[in-house]
Chain A
Amino acid sequence: MGGSVGSEDGDVGFQIAPMVDVVFVLLLFFMAMAGAQTSELELSINLPGGASADRTAPKSTPIIIDINPDDSIVVNGKTFDSPSTKNLVQLQAWLTETMKMFGKSDPVIIRPAMETAQERIIDVLNAAAAAGVSNLSFG
């Protein structure tokens, strides 16, 4: 391509080959960027807050997930996973099973210790979301 760049008549004209080169490089750049990109996702909860908090009495027994100061997760006196695991497989399996038995409308209340980092709370929210819990709140 482009063998006759400087022709004798001086009329160079629009060179398409370099343009394709540049476009191709740009395309590769943005494709590579798209792969490495981190996207922002969301985890929703229903806050028992504000005006509606006091009026709605719990319909059924809530499941209370405690997060202790040492990052261990305790439900009904039973400890799930270890404080250092990020992917809470046991908690997720247990929640999935419980949701199957008692229905998804049972409220799940997360009760973190005051010094619990946001990251640990999100781990629990993540497990709950994966288990299909729909009625999440904080205690």
Chain B
Amino acid sequence: MPEEDPDFQIAPMIDILLVLLIFFMTISSTQVLQSNEQVKLPVAAKAKDPKEGEGDGSAIINIVWVPLGNAGQITYNELTVTDAAGIVAPLRDAISKSPKIRVIIRADRQAPYSFVRPVLVAVGQAGSSNITFSVINKDDN
């Protein structure tokens, strides 16, 4: 084939499109993994990105609050309790195994301090002083 026009190259374009596609697919699926949908996190604009990979991993405590029943639930791993004292023992185990563990509290935005405070106390009793509150950067509804 002599003297053919260098026409539109489709193969490199597909390469680039696929790379972009994979990029956007990965960034939109990383966040969904560990969230508990019952918890509506409070909004804070100035919060920092999570410091992944630092220390000894993280222990995530979900605090669900149902305003109608005026009652809450605390979930740590698969354990669900209504009294914060119940998570002291398993937390202490986790903390003794990895002392630098980050305790992440995912508390509902409507949970009152009277319900969140015992959780803070429980984490303190379990021997960690490194507490992090989860927030979202903007309202999602």
**Residues of B with Cβ closer than 8 Å to A?**
10, 13-14, 17-18, 20-21, 24-25, 27-28, 31, 35, 41-51, 63, 65, 104, 107-114, 116-117, 120-121, 123-140
Contacts and interface: CB of A to CB of B under 8 A. Distances in A.
Interface of B is mostly: mixed
Interface string A100-128: 00000000000011111111011101110
B121 A49 contact: yes
A48 B45 CA distance: 25
> Closest 8 A-B residue pairs measured CB to CB?
A49-B124, A30-B24, A41-B47, A119-B109, A114-B114, A50-B124, A126-B44, A122-B42
A20 B132 CA distance: 45
12 contacts: A20-B14, A20-B17, A26-B21, A39-B31, A40-B135, A41-B50, A42-B51, A45-B132, A47-B120, A118-B65, A119-B42, A119-B109
A82 to B, nearest CB: 18
